[in-house]
Amino acid sequence: MDWTINGRSILVTGGSSGIGKATAMALAASGGCVTITSRSASRAKAAAEEIRQATGTSVSTLVVDFASLESVRSAAARFVDTHSELVVLVNNAGVVKGSVSRTVDGHETTFATNHLGPFLFTSLLVDLLVASAPARVINTSSVAHTYAKEGIVFDDLNFRHRRYKFMEVYGHSKLANILHVQETNNRFGSRGITAVAVHPGVVRTGLGSGGDSFLVGWAERLGGRWMRTPQQGADTIVWLATEPHIDTSEGCYFEDRKPSRSTHHARDMDQASRLWDVSTRLTAGS
């Protein structure tokens, strides 16, 4: 079947603001049946209403907190119960925390929110993706994955024994986003799933400002007035969701609609496979 998102079911996490909202807006305008997620029903509703007013298309909402494995299980179950297909999953929700904190499950918050939660969410939706194949998984990663100089630190995933340096912690989680798509392709490519990761550029959003005053303005200082708009940041994600054929022969990490160079850690299939196994164990239900 030719690839089209017109009338097809699409799920964009972190669709209440920033890059996720701009992605959902563009995909809804292209005819997709979009669901957005947020931790807050009212933020999700407000974003859905803004998208409806701008595009004339209704968007559904799903409440989920990626920092809680129980919340992820419950949201995935609600989605599966109410949808018979899913052709594009955009794992976009993310945070950067200025200091160490732990989730209800005891994991470091940035790693849990940016990797473990989305990993579990994708795993719980993978049967629906396979049943809807061809289907795509798009992870919003970042050039910040280059800060993970040692690769995935398997003996200290939760930053219990190292000094907390926020860009290293964030970069580690964004490296995990790329390894997640590498291993998804390895395991599910033959079943019709194409998984890709994206660096959206340095984008003017609320990232880092959620109650974390230490971080307010860090991205601004980094990117200054050259920062992209959320719409510009969403461009490659939207392109990967809508383009009839995605060529991953040169890699599955994209920037500006082209494969981009990632670190050797991000291309290390042993790390990808090991991270998959460890993440499966860390997200297993009791």
Kindly write down the DSSP assignment for every residue of 122-161, as one continuous string: HHHHHHHHHHT-SEEEEEE--GGGGG-TT---GGGTT-SS
Is there binding between residue 205 and ligand NAP (CB under 6 A)? yes
Rounded distance between C-alpha atoms, residue 175 and residue 38, angstroms:
23
Identify the residue among 48, 203, 240, 275 touching ligand NAP (CB under 6 A). Answer: 203
Minimum distance from CB of 51 to ligand NAP (Å)?
A: 13
Rounded distance between C-alpha atoms, residue 245 and residue 247, angstroms:
6
Identify the residue among 9, 55, 92, 182 touching ligand NAP (CB under 6 A). Answer: 92
Cα dihedral across residues 237, 100, 17, 78: positive or negative: positive
Contacting range for ligand NAP; rule: CB under 6 A; set: 54-62, 123-131, 202-210, 259-267:
202-210
Rounded distance between C-alpha atoms, residue 75 and residue 82, angstroms:
11
Is there binding between residue 274 and ligand NAP (CB under 6 A)? no
Is there binding between residue 93 and ligand NAP (CB under 6 A)? yes
DSSP state of 228: B
Identify the residue among 67, 69, 129, 152 touching ligand NAP (CB under 6 A). Answer: 67
Tokens 């933020």, located at residue = 43
Contacting range for ligand NAP; rule: CB under 6 A; set: 13-21, 49-57, 120-128, 269-277:
13-21
Give yes or no for a contact between 125 and 78, defined as CB atoms under 8 angstroms apart: no
Beta bridge partners of residue 97, listed in sequence order = none
Identify the residue among 3, 43, 100, 168 touching ligand NAP (CB under 6 A). Answer: 43
Minimum distance from CB of 278 to ligand NAP (Å)?
A: 21
Is there binding between residue 23 and ligand NAP (CB under 6 A)? no
Minimum distance from CB of 114 to ligand NAP (Å)?
A: 6
Q: Residue 113 or residue 182: which is nearer to ligand NAP going by CB?
A: 113
Rounded distance between C-alpha atoms, residue 145 and residue 125, angstroms:
25
Identify the residue among 64, 135, 266, 275 touching ligand NAP (CB under 6 A). Answer: 64
Give yes or no for a contact between 241 and 136, defined as CB atoms under 8 angstroms apart: yes
User: Which DSSP helix (H) or strand (E) runs through 20?
Assistant: helix 18-29
Residues lying near ligand NAP in the complex (CB under 6 A) are found at: 14, 16-20, 38-40, 43, 64-67, 92-95, 113, 140, 142, 199-200, 202-203, 205-207, 219
Which residues carry out catalysis?
Answer: 170
